[in-house]
Structure 1
Amino acid sequence: MKTISVLLIALISLCSYKTFAQQKTGTICFIRANGYVGSMVNDKVYIDDSLVCKLKNKQYSIHTVPAGAHTVAVNPGGLSTQKRSTPLTITVEAGKTTYIDIAWADKVSCQELTANSATLKMQKLKQNNKCLSDK
């Protein structure tokens, strides 16, 4: 009887741990602070091929995701025929934020930023809390 009790407790503990482990999340913060290039149109940002936000110039957005590997990409808005940027694979750690800069050079791309660099950029930006609304 004692062995069955120990096995039952072990099974409950294992199930509880597995449930807790699945609930670990982190955040991805997209930052769009570029200057004049494309400043009048929304860039569409994607996490794991799902559209999560339409960001205007001088905005950032924060998204909660499960901890682990994810791909992020951006597609410039407007009437442009440009395609989505090359996906960037990132690892999101539980309880931490991964910062992604939407950068324009010859074309739009995603680049990972350090927390210090992101914090400096975000001071001049406005958070977009209504990512997929047209308002």
Structure 2
Amino acid sequence: MKKIFLVSLLSFFAATFNLNAQQVDASASETGKICFIRSTGFQGSASAFKTFIDEQFVCKLNNKRFSYHEVTPGIHRCSVQFGGKKSKDKAEKFEVDVKPGKTTYVQLVFETGILINNVYCEEVTENTAVQKMSQLKEDDKCL
């Protein structure tokens, strides 16, 4: 009787531990995505923009393109600049909150001025993003 009780008890703990391990693994493997969208028009279309997530280079994005990047859920800092594969301190940083299993859409904006051109990130809604992306091509290579 003691053996049956002991085996039952051990089986119960093993099953409980295995369930908890599976739940932790499932939540840890859950990711979100950041989608960069570039449709800056004729101005600035000659050169690719360098995109960064948390100061790490992720993609060289040409005009009329978009790219997806898998990230862990939470707050991430996105930035974009004209050149270089190292995030510059003066590049404007934009924070996004990525939810598990969801995509956050970030549009790359190019502004021209008299003496200075500026490029920065701006979050857009899924509806706006889908509409814009229907006229663009996905860049799945991201050099």
- Fold in common (TM above 0.5): yes
Q: 2: distance between equivalents of 1:42 and 1:48? A: 19
Q: 2: distance between equivalents of 1:123 and 1:83? A: 33
Partner of 2:124: 113
Instruction: List aligned pairs for 1:1-135, cutoff 5 A.
Output: 1=6, 2-77=8-83, 85-105=91-111, 107-132=118-143
Q: 2: distance between equivalents of 1:120 and 1:85? A: 28
For residues 87-131 of structure 1, give each alpha carbon's deviation from its aligned partner in whole angstroms, at most 9, with x where no partner exists: 111111222111000012251110000001111111211111211
For residues 8-36 of structure 1, give each alpha carbon's deviation from its aligned partner in whole angstroms, at most 9, with x where no partner exists: 22211111111111100121110010123
Q: Counterpart of 2:125 in structure 1: which amino acid?
A: T
State which structure, 1 or 2, has the greater radius of gyration over its C-alpha atoms.
2
Aligned residues: 129
Q: TM-score, normalised by structure 1?
A: 0.85
Percent of matched pairs sharing the same residue: 36
Structure 1 stretches (4+) deviating beyond 6 angstroms?
none
Q: TM-score, normalised by structure 2?
A: 0.81
For residues 56-87 of structure 1, give each alpha carbon's deviation from its aligned partner in whole angstroms, at most 9, with x where no partner exists: 11111111222222111111138xxx866321
Q: 1: distance between equivalents of 2:98 and 2:20? A: 24
